[in-house]
Amino acid sequence: MRYLSACSGIEAASVAWHPLGWEPVAFSEIEPFPSAVLAHHYPTVPNLGDMTKFQEWPDEPVELLVGGTPCQSFSVAGLRKGLADPRGNLMLTFLAIAQRHRPRWIVWENVPGVLSSNGGRDFGTLLGALGELGYGWAYRVLDAQFFGVAQRRRRVFVVGHIRDWQRAAQVLFERESVRRDTPPSREAREGATAGTTRCFAGSRQSDVAATLETTAHDYSRADGFNMVAQPIGFGAQMSNPQTDMDLMQTLNAKNPMAVAQPIAAAMQVRRLTPVECERLQGFPDNYTRIPWKFGYWPADKHSPEVLETIAGQCPDGPRYKALGNSMAVPVMRWIGQRIEKVENP
């Protein structure tokens, strides 16, 4: 599957879909630090930059278009300006890119606030435009806590397929989930890991931070570790329909990134490390620890030893912000696996 990524960020999609053998044709990112992360991990994939200049992009055949256009305009933080906010108009730019490249699949992500922005008319604009472009679509709110990471992160995902809404629905909805007699459950869905520790593959048990030690929805263990009492509120934007406002916004770049640790004697609060934030989003350890100090040094200009020294000086602030704005890797992996099943039943 050849895909084009808009508003790429640090590319949760590519981390999720690499095991599937999918190939990124190009990225589109303008922020300096995420762009440096992309250049570091994907030096052969072009970053086309500003998505509003898509008409200048080369004509490349793509089978899938993926993106999470800026969600500030659909959240409380953005005063819910909706499409009147220029950032919100990038949603229309995303549609224009789809019209030009005509990919077979579309995957779009946003905060739950998009469902009620401008009385729902903004979201209706997106869905109506997809229909006019010839795409059948389905949408669903997915929560990262059910996909193997220790955080609550509800996001709206829209999947579109050219001329076929049934294929889009087959991606987002398992057969059991559309039955009226299915009892409610907090168990992990198909494709989701059974416990959060599984997303730390490659790390010894002692290497995993104590606040991330848990099994699937079991927060009552008392084995010497300080456990997370509930999934962590983890996101750079928290929208009004998301009812987890009582949880700490651990990755809001303007506020302290911290987690409360329940222990026997007292409640303690400490700052999350960048590696813990990477794990909460499903990224490999130190994925955002790149050669970055006052800018990005291309790998071909310095020795590995010098690059490692520079990476060690990478500030935490840009890493927190980039991770907070990213999609959750396990959710994107599940969506990719579902598309694979529909493509190859």
User: What does DSSP assign to residue 182?
Assistant: P
Q: Which tokens belong to 161? A: 């397929």
Q: Which tokens belong to 190? A: 């198909």
Q: Which tokens belong to 39? A: 């250049």
- Given a contact cutoff of 8 angstroms between Cβ atoms, the answer to whether 292 and 310 are in contact is yes
Return the axis-axis angle of helices 316-324 and 274-281, rounded to nearest 10°.
20
CA 41 centroid distance within chain: 17
- Start-to-end C-alpha separation, the chain: 15
Q: Is the sign of the CA dihedral 131, 133, 137, 143 positive or negative?
A: negative
Which one from 7, 71, 199, 314 is the annotated catalytic residue?
71
- Given a contact cutoff of 8 angstroms between Cβ atoms, the answer to whether 4 and 10 are in contact is no
User: What does DSSP assign to residue 9?
Assistant: T
277 is annotated as an active-site residue: no
Q: CA-based angle 213:217:222, to the nearest 5? A: 50
- Given a contact cutoff of 8 angstroms between Cβ atoms, the answer to whether 329 and 12 are in contact is yes
Give the span between the Cα atoms of 328 and 283, in whole angstroms.
8
32's CB contacts (< 8 A; 6+ apart) are 295, 296
- Given a contact cutoff of 8 angstroms between Cβ atoms, the answer to whether 30 and 344 are in contact is no
Residue 271 host element (H or E):
strand 267-271
Q: Which residues of 120-143 are buried (b: 16+ CB within 10 A; e: fewer)?
A: eebbebbeebbeeeebbbbbeebb
Q: What is the set of active-site residues?
A: 71
